[in-house]
């Protein structure tokens, strides 16, 4: 992973924290950085990376859901209790414990979806890459989700919180990966899960759109 300058929101995504966390950290160091889109010069960005690389991964909490969903209030109103969503997802799960997952398979999916898309070639992972995947692996394994590798693929690997919300609401990875508009496939739109991640679509609205699409499929006899 490049160790040069970076925008605040890029550093936040790199370590699974919010832009506000990065801004607060910089402010505590006496560095004034205006916003999430501001550029952090290479020496300071390196200091931020070293700071977070030295910290143990924190357990996933409701705060993670609020951070990933963005500031869109309608998305947050759907269900801001991440712990409750995890519990519902676990009740839906066919698994009896998180250890039922194969960490190697999930780790490989994270490297493929989170690290590899930014590369021109695979392999040659840096310590920062490995640390980032390890943090995400712990977060994903806490969710107990069925079809975890598929959820990683459709979400881009960095949003286990949103995957849990959609799973708890009854959607599958295939549902979350649909591109829908007015109850039909619309290739010009982003996928359901990516719209939820951006805060452009609430979980309830996502479920409604998928149900409407399924009803239209049943009515026309298509699948």
| Residue 1 pLDDT class (50, 70, 90 cuts) | very low
Average pLDDT score over residue span 39-48: 88
Residue with tokens 């799960």: 93
Mean pLDDT of the chain: 77
Please tell me whether residue 175 adopts helix, strand or coil conformation. Answer: helix
CA gap 125, 131 in Å, rounded: 10
CA gap 139, 132 in Å, rounded: 11
CA gap 169, 36 in Å, rounded: 31
CA gap 147, 149 in Å, rounded: 6
Strand extents, DSSP E, 39-96: 39-40
Span 145-197, pLDDT tens digits: 888 889 999 999 989 989 998 998 889 999 999 999 877 899 899 999 999 99
Span 61-99, pLDDT tens digits: 444 433 333 434 343 334 445 566 666 666 666 655 554
């Amino acid at each position: 992973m490049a160790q040069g300058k970076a925008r605040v929101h890029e550093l936040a995504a790199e370590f699974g924290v919010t832009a506000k966390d990065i801004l607060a950290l910089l402010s505590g160091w006496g560095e004034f950085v205006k916003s999430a889109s501001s550029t952090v010069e290479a020496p300071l960005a390196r200091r931020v990376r070293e700071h977070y690389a030295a910290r143990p991964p924190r357990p996933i909490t409701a705060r993670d859901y609020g951070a990933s969903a963005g500031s869109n209030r309608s998305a947050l109103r759907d269900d801001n209790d991440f712990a409750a969503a995890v519990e519902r997802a676990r009740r839906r799960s066919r698994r009896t414990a998180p250890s039922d997952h194969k960490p190697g398979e999930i780790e490989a999916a994270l490297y493929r979806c989170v690290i590899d898309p930014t590369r021109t070639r695979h392999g040659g992972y840096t310590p920062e890459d490995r640390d980032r995947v390890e943090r995400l692996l712990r977060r994903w394994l806490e969710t107990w989700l069925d079809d975890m590798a598929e959820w990683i693929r459709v979400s881009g690997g960095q949003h286990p919180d949103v995957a849990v919300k959609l799973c708890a609401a009854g959607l599958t990875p295939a549902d979350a990966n649909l591109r829908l508009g007015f109850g039909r496939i619309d290739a010009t739109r982003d996928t359901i899960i990516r719209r939820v991640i951006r805060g452009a679509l609430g979980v309830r609205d996502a479920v409604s759109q998928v149900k409407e699409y399924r009803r239209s499929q049943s009515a026309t006899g298509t699948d």
